[in-house]
């Protein structure tokens, strides 16, 4: 059995991590705090990343027409029906959630931290959108709650990054990881498999790179081609190859083998809204994809970090 598992999982799941850290069921409550993005308003770029939806990748975040407390309680009431004694982490998900003045950030974050049974915050952002003043506040915040900063890397390959209009460099990302960890702030990194023209080897190289950084978690996504995005236009023009279901499962299992064993896997596949999805259609069956990743790891008699450990030996 994998050392960070008490089930059939051969990788370090978020559910296992939360259960052992908080001795309780823990849910992330996705919120939309009304932030924008420096890659949309012209500060570093315009139009945003080509895969980003009009909701700023916050399809499952709260309703922007409602205040944060109402958004939070809407989700909490649903969860309470399943788990009466659950704890919660406020997840600032949509757009770039450190892209505002410090007073605005404090007002939004502290509003959620005051709610009952909130044990932490996850803040999704970009590495080029965290000021030194913000770092100071985040460091202070991390000393009184369980704080995680989620950084969107997506790929280590600069050619792809330019193609998807990411508008920040690998160096910018790496430098910010070091700054956050110097202040003992937890870091989760987002990557995307299936980006246009990337090979299997390129996707594995991205995981190899971040496994050698001081990060605490990873989110692995499959590229979703969504309606009304720049990516939809690019796909209709270029007809680039998307990964098949079997290819994705194979690549993820390889990535898990190269992923350092103590890195928590927060997500292992995409979760797009069916009404927005153009390709790949197999993404809508999330549970079966996860189950088949488990089956493939078992078939290989493999587990997270086995190849990382072998390379270091």
- pLDDT by residue (tens digit) across 23-55? 999 999 999 999 999 888 878 888 888 898 765
pLDDT band with cut points at 50, 70 and 90 for residue 58: very low
Q: What is the dihedral of CA 158, 163, 168, 172, to 10 degrees?
A: -10
Residue 240 domain-assigned? Answer: yes
pLDDT of residue 57: 56
- At residue 56, does pLDDT exceed 60? no
- pLDDT by residue (tens digit) across 166-177? 989 999 999 999
Structural domain containing residue 302: 14-308
Domain harbouring 256, CATH code: 3.20.20
Domain count, the chain: 1
Pick from 126, 181, 193, 180: which is nearest to 153 by CA? 126
> In whole angstroms, what is the distance from residue 218 CA to residue 267 CA?
7
- pLDDT by residue (tens digit) across 130-139? 999 999 999 9
Residue 61 domain-assigned? Answer: yes
Residue 29 domain-assigned? Answer: yes
Token pair 């160096």 is found at: 171
Residue 129 domain-assigned? Answer: yes
DSSP label at residue 193: E
Residue 230 domain-assigned? Answer: yes
Q: Summarize the confidence of residues 274-288 as an average pLDDT.
A: 93
Residue 47 domain-assigned? Answer: yes
Residue 7 domain-assigned? Answer: no
Residue 32 domain-assigned? Answer: yes
- At residue 112, does pLDDT exceed 50? yes
Give the phi and the psi of residue 291 in degrees, each rounded to 5: -60, -40
> In whole angstroms, what is the distance from residue 92 CA to residue 149 CA?
10
> In whole angstroms, what is the distance from residue 148 CA to residue 187 CA?
6
pLDDT of residue 60: 60
- pLDDT by residue (tens digit) across 213-249? 999 999 999 999 999 999 999 999 999 999 999 999 9
Range scoring the smallest mean pLDDT among 53-67, 201-215, 258-272: 53-67
pLDDT band with cut points at 50, 70 and 90 for residue 59: low
pLDDT of residue 313: 46
pLDDT of residue 182: 98
Q: Summarize the confidence of residues 201-216 as an average pLDDT.
A: 98
Q: In what order do the strands lie in the sheet with 264-267?
A: 26-31, 87-92, 118-125, 146-154, 186-193, 217-222, 264-267
- At residue 99, does pLDDT exceed 80? yes
pLDDT band with cut points at 50, 70 and 90 for residue 1: confident
Average pLDDT score over the chain: 93
């Amino acid at each position: 059995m994998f050392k960070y598992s008490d089930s059939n999982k051969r990788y370090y799941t978020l559910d296992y991590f939360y259960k052992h850290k908080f001795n309780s069921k823990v849910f992330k409550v996705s919120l939309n705090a009304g932030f924008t993005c420096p890659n949309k308003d012209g500060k570093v770029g315009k139009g945003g990343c080509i895969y980003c939806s009009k909701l700023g990748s916050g399809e499952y975040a709260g309703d922007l027409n409602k205040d944060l407390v109402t958004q939070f309680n809407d989700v909490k009431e649903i969860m309470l029906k399943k788990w009466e004694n659950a704890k919660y982490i406020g997840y600032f998900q949509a757009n770039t959630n450190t892209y505002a003045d410090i007073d605005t950030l404090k007002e939004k974050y502290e509003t959620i931290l005051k709610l009952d049974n909130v044990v932490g915050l996850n803040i999704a952002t970009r590495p080029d959108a965290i000021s030194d003043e913000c770092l100071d506040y985040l460091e202070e915040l991390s000393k009184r709650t369980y704080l995680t900063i989620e950084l969107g890397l997506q790929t280590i390959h600069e050619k792809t990054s330019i193609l998807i209009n990411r508008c920040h460099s690998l160096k910018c990302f790496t430098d910010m990881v070091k700054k956050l960890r110097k202040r003992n702030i937890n870091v989760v990194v987002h990557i995307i498999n299936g980006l246009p023209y990337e090979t299997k080897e390129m996707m594995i190289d991205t995981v190899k790179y971040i496994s050698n950084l001081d990060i605490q978690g990873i989110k692995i996504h499959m590229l979703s081609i969504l309606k009304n995005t720049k990516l939809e236009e690019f796909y209709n023009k270029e007809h680039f190859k998307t990964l098949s279901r079997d290819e994705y499962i194979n690549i993820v299992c390889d990535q898990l083998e190269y992923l350092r064993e103590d890195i928590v896997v927060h997500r292992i596949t995409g979760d797009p809204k069916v009404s927005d999805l153009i390709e790949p259609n197999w993404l809508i069956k999330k549970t079966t994809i996860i189950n088949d990743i488990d089956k493939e790891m078992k078939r290989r008699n493999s587990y997270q970090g086995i190849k990382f450990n072998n390379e270091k030996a």
